[in-house]
Structure 1
């Protein structure tokens, strides 16, 4: 039986891998009559509105913070933790201002702005749901700790300057829980946008975690892209939207497949000038942005950093992966899981040259066992329940919590 409409606030950072996974569940909840206020950056206002939500905007702390530059600094650990806190505070203040006289019945938040999400729920004394487009976290596994380890960083609570800021923030909201304990607290409902079989330590996650699989709302543009001929092997290459300022890598990819049957489509990002790549062979395209799914529909392989958004799109299209998280260490835990599950190969750092790239890609394209495992994972993705299941879980939780 349908439940009465509720007002739901969704809190999310301005990032493709965070906003897009949530849009399916948000759209389904809106379709069922719930009023959704969705707080995010202006870059995603159009997609959020199309999902049926009212858009609330904030100014991201990352607008004036270039991560690739900072990761090389001696104080990178402190600065990266502090900008993360500033991002959460920006979201907190924007939500409080926008909903001062209109508090929601439920706060749903993405895993990255969890500080903002949990503190808003406490401020309004409302139940909370965590959305997660990456690995779920429980008492046995922490995605945050894995990401910090990939950078060689400590827990923010162990960095004196950061701990002081966090402790003050928690105190402002009447929270006297130690920072590390607050960080590891688990919501009673967690919507995970991955199939459970892709999760690390899946057997340790209980009924608080609903693995509903990825959502591709907003990512399904069919531009009509076609390879030169139906039997042309296609390789999609991307370093994502942040760590793509590596012209030498894209040049190596182009050289690797010069005078071969392969057609290579490279998404080089909007900050890299295509002119820096020089003349490209006729079988190589270099574009600021490409419709992933339109190209993946024809691809024999893809070469990506390994983050879950791109990985799940490739799996859903039945495409084996070559992963190389060397330019973005936060991709490392996910890339390792992809290789561990036999869904692709890693391109070692010492093979990031034309001969090495071509050898790994062509070996992958011949590997029928990898292809078989990708198709099995695709079945898991499509049988996880998707947006409808996610909305069912949220509605059931609203009923249980009496919101």
Structure 2
């Protein structure tokens, strides 16, 4: 096949970017050219394997209150305006054969409509169809009629500004469809997965390689190990980190905790020598040595844990994460934590999970399911279909 040009668009969120890097890299290995939209803090890592289309994202390192839709909606529209302007110029300068667009990159989908370029949507989160909607089934949005009316009014102005008002409605900012979709995890994780038709290709996840970090020696020597993380957004809960560390300490285990940028080690302390605190952990290196993961239930981080055979204890912070917890419990690969919980209660849950031989067997089988060696190839195959 003659090499083609792929343009990838995503929001600046590692949980959306990491799951596609291996697949996009495989396309490069096959002789295609891949350009990727990337903002400041993402450009260096993305640029190691792909051609970077740089832009200044208003969402990159944003301190906005992402649980407040009155803040999120204008931020999303500002992101779309900024990304769309960059994508439009990039397409005029170097037209791609296909746009691969993250489900939250409305700019990528709009660019496809504006320039008549095929769009393939990627889903690092639960996919939606007529039978399942993350927003409706798990109430993952907290918008009101008033906030949505104001938002759609602003979207209408934006669509008019870019010349798309006659072909795209404001409501399609959220409810737009793509004929081709790549779901970045196995079908059995997806709620009502059996209802998704041939437009949706479910693939083996693309798992990041080891970071080869300086912490590997400590992680390897600190057994058994529990990893604690609340992700990059809803991670300002000092009490959560303290309770988790105290619960793990009750068992005499070691803890590696990723605190994020809102909680400092001093706020969590004092700690023993069995505890490693970092703003950001080398997560793949950490999970390779972990016996259990205690997390918020982000889908990407959950799949990364399962790919290492690590059971997940999920304390959901938002609707989407409740869905992840439900799927993981349904598959028997972890349990949901109901907040608030005490350190003693957490210690009991960890002990139960660690001694569950049936769960360990399921985890090993699912680990093999996630690591069949064809993750990047499956992604590239699904993209190449659009070239035919």
Change beyond 3 A, Cα 1:229–1:97: closer
Question: For the aligned residues, what is the CA RMSD?
Answer: 2.4
Change beyond 3 A, Cα 1:103–1:146: farther
Q: Which residue of 1 aligns with 2:63?
A: 66
Change beyond 3 A, Cα 1:315–1:258: closer
CA–CA distance in structure 2, aligned partners of residues 348 and 43 of structure 1: 34
CA–CA distance in structure 1, aligned partners of residues 250 and 133 of structure 2: 45
Q: Which residue of 2 aligns with 1:335?
A: 325
Q: Which residue of 1 aligns with 2:360?
A: 371
Q: Which residue of 2 aligns with 1:56?
A: 53
Q: Which residue of 1 aligns with 2:194?
A: 203
**Paired residues of 2:156 and 2:165 also in contact (CA < 8 A):** no
**Paired residues of 1:138 and 1:186 also in contact (CA < 8 A):** no
Determine which of 212, 229, 237 is the counterpart of 1:222: 212
Determine which of 17, 20, 35 is the counterpart of 2:18: 20
**Paired residues of 2:183 and 2:200 also in contact (CA < 8 A):** yes
Q: Which residue of 2 aligns with 1:111?
A: 103
Question: Deviation of residue 344 (structure 1)?
Answer: 0.7
CA–CA distance in structure 2, aligned partners of residues 159 and 174 of structure 1: 18
CA deviations over 1:289-323 (Å, ceiling 9, x no partner): 22222222222111011011111111110011100
Q: Which residue of 2 aligns with 1:168?
A: 157
**Paired residues of 1:211 and 1:384 also in contact (CA < 8 A):** no
Q: Which residue of 1 aligns with 2:140?
A: 150
Gaps of 5+ in 2: none
Q: How does 1:83-122 map to 2 (within 5 A)?
A: 83-113=75-105, 115-122=106-113
Change beyond 3 A, Cα 1:349–1:163: same
Q: Which residue of 2 aligns with 1:46?
A: 44
Question: Deviation of residue 96 (structure 1)?
Answer: 1.7
Change beyond 3 A, Cα 1:367–1:89: same
CA–CA distance in structure 2, aligned partners of residues 320 and 126 of structure 1: 42
Structure 1 residue 318 corresponds to structure 2 residue 295 = no
CA–CA distance in structure 2, aligned partners of residues 288 and 97 of structure 1: 36
**Paired residues of 2:312 and 2:334 also in contact (CA < 8 A):** yes
Determine which of 212, 224, 230 is the counterpart of 2:203: 212
CA–CA distance in structure 1, aligned partners of residues 183 and 145 of structure 2: 23
Determine which of 349, 357, 381 is the counterpart of 2:346: 357
Q: Which residue of 1 aligns with 2:248?
A: 257
**Paired residues of 1:232 and 1:261 also in contact (CA < 8 A):** no
SS in structure 2 of the partner of residue 62 of structure 1: coil
Q: Which residue of 1 aligns with 2:288?
A: 297
Change beyond 3 A, Cα 1:141–1:168: farther
Give the number of equivalent residue pairs.
385
Of stretches 254-263 and 276-285 in structure 1, the one that deviates more from structure 2 is: 254-263
CA–CA distance in structure 1, aligned partners of residues 219 and 289 of structure 2: 11
Of stretches 264-273 and 123-132 in structure 1, the one that deviates more from structure 2 is: 264-273
Q: How does 1:259-274 map to 2 (within 5 A)?
A: 260-274=251-265
CA–CA distance in structure 2, aligned partners of residues 396 and 188 of structure 1: 12
Q: Which residue of 2 aligns with 1:35?
A: 33
CA deviations over 1:42-76 (Å, ceiling 9, x no partner): 2221222222x210122222247424x463xxxx3
Question: Deviation of residue 188 (structure 1)?
Answer: 2.0
TM-score by length of 1: 0.88
Change beyond 3 A, Cα 1:64–1:161: farther
Change beyond 3 A, Cα 1:271–1:9: same
Question: Deviation of residue 35 (structure 1)?
Answer: 1.6
SS in structure 2 of the partner of residue 140 of structure 1: coil
CA deviations over 1:329-354 (Å, ceiling 9, x no partner): 54222222222222111111131x21
CA–CA distance in structure 1, aligned partners of residues 352 and 196 of structure 2: 35
CA–CA distance in structure 2, aligned partners of residues 175 and 367 of structure 1: 58
CA–CA distance in structure 1, aligned partners of residues 218 and 61 of structure 2: 39
SS in structure 2 of the partner of residue 215 of structure 1: coil
SS in structure 2 of the partner of residue 245 of structure 1: coil
